[in-house]
């Protein structure tokens, strides 16, 4: 199932996005998409509504240094265990919402990533049971003020600005994260091209590691790390992150007035 969140003339709603007879329809879900969703009977052509971030997480947990080539391009050391950090949920935006470069940073980078969406409350999940805790997967951009990351020595400020966590365009519940292509384009030029099979820590390992530390709640998002090729974005440019089997998340870039 492809789950989304939309703004329509009737308000904001969770929806199931379905292809029917050559058209794409957003069918309204009653209440929330967790468990077995029920439907209200209302629907809209997808072209007539606006896609929002597919989920508003209570927290966004990110994995750093999870692709060897990215570690090499940053000149960092390979960690023995997953390195995790948090982005505030106020950094989440949806497709087509501008990424706002703060005036305090001279370099704001894109980082295309696969994101995991948690489907139930869980703690101390074993890797073998990780799939049972996952609602589905979406596409993310872990936007980073690279200069501030280097200056601060920890990553909260550099990763935490409003608009620094684009998510979308929807959640794919029938997705195999083992070996999917991940690509980032800047103004149509490919800057990142890799596969999820190159992660140092796969999704089950990440879910086990994170859930040992903190309780995960329905809708929480885990970003699984970015491959090599990260780079700066300038105002007026457009960044698009694609994950094979899910879709493309695209956002323009602007400077904060």
Mean pLDDT of the chain: 97
Q: Taking residues 209-236, what's their average pLDDT?
A: 98
Residue 226 has pLDDT above 90, yes or no: yes
Shared-domain flag, residues 138 and 28: no
pLDDT of residue 151: 97
- CB neighbour class for 9 (10 Å; exposed up to 12, middle 13-18, buried from 19): exposed
* C-alpha dihedral sign at 192, 197, 203, 208: negative
Shared-domain flag, residues 125 and 250: yes
The helix (run of H) or strand (run of E) holding residue 186 is: strand 181-186
Shared-domain flag, residues 17 and 130: no
Shared-domain flag, residues 111 and 185: yes
pLDDT of residue 47: 95
Q: Taking residues 17-36, what's their average pLDDT?
A: 93
Looking at residue 144, which CATH number applies to its domain? 3.90.850.10
Of 52, 68, 83, at which residue does a domain stop? 52
Q: Taking residues 227-256, what's their average pLDDT?
A: 98
Q: What's the rounded Cα separation, in Å, for the pair 158 and 216?
A: 24
pLDDT of residue 74: 87
* C-alpha dihedral sign at 3, 8, 10, 12: positive
Q: Taking residues 110-115, what's their average pLDDT?
A: 98
pLDDT of residue 22: 86
For the chain, the domain total comes to: 2
Of 36, 52, 68, at which residue does a domain stop? 52
Q: Taking residues 202-213, what's their average pLDDT?
A: 98
Task: Give per-residue pLDDT as tens, 138-153.
Answer: 999 999 999 999 999 9
Task: Give per-residue pLDDT as tens, 36-81.
Answer: 999 999 999 999 999 999 999 999 999 999 999 999 998 889 999 9
Q: Quick check: 195 and 36 in contact, CB under 8 A?
A: no
Confidence tier at 20 by pLDDT (50, 70, 90): confident
Domain containing 8 equals 2-52
pLDDT of residue 21: 82
Shared-domain flag, residues 72 and 41: no
Residue % of the chain over a pLDDT of 70? 100
Shared-domain flag, residues 39 and 92: no
pLDDT of residue 120: 98
Shared-domain flag, residues 205 and 89: yes
Q: What's the rounded Cα separation, in Å, for the pair 86 and 100?
A: 19
Task: Give per-residue pLDDT as tens, 150-179.
Answer: 999 999 999 999 999 999 999 999 999 999
Confidence tier at 202 by pLDDT (50, 70, 90): very high
Q: Quick check: 85 and 240 in contact, CB under 8 A?
A: no
SS3 29: strand
pLDDT of residue 232: 98
Shared-domain flag, residues 82 and 111: yes
Shared-domain flag, residues 15 and 132: no
Q: Quick check: 179 and 196 in contact, CB under 8 A?
A: yes
Of 52, 69, 93, at which residue does a domain stop? 52
Shared-domain flag, residues 217 and 171: yes
Nearest to 60 by CA among 83, 85, 87: 87
Looking at residue 14, which CATH number applies to its domain? 2.30.30.370
Residue 208: φ, ψ to 5° = -60, -45
| pTM metric for this prediction | 0.97
pLDDT of residue 239: 99
Shared-domain flag, residues 39 and 65: no
Shared-domain flag, residues 17 and 121: no
Q: Taking residues 196-210, what's their average pLDDT?
A: 98
pLDDT of residue 181: 98
């Amino acid at each position: 199932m492809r789950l989304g969140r939309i703004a329509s003339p009737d308000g904001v709603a969770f929806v199931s996005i379905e292809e029917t007879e050559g058209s794409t329809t957003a069918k309204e879900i009653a209440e929330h998409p967790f468990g077995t969703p029920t439907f209200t009977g209302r629907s809209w052509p997808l072209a007539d509504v606006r896609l929002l971030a597919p989920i508003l997480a209570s927290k966004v947990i990110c994995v750093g240094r999870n692709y060897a080539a990215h570690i090499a391009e940053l000149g960092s050391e390979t960690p023995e265990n997953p390195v995790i950090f948090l982005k505030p949920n106020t950094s989440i935006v949806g497709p087509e919402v501008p990424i706002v470069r703060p005036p305090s940073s001279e370099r704001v980078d894109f980082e295309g990533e696969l994101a995991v969406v948690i489907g139930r409350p869980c703690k101390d999940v074993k890797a073998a049971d990780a799939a049972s805790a996952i609602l589905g997967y979406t596409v993310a951009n872990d936007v980073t003020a690279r200069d501030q990351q280097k200056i601060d020595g920890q990553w909260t400020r550099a990763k935490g600005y409003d608009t620094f966590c684009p998510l979308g365009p929807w959640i794919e519940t029938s997705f195999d994260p083992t070996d999917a292509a991940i690509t980032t384009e800047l103004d149509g030029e490919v800057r990142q091209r890799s596969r999820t099979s190159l992660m140092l820590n796969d999704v089950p390992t990440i879910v086990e590691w994170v859930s040992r530390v903190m309780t995960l709640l329905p809708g929480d998002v885990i970003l699984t790390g970015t491959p090599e090729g990260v780079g700066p974005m300038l105002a007026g440019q457009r960044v698009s992150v694609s994950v094979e089997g899910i879709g493309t998340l695209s956002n323009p870039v602007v400077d904060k007035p």
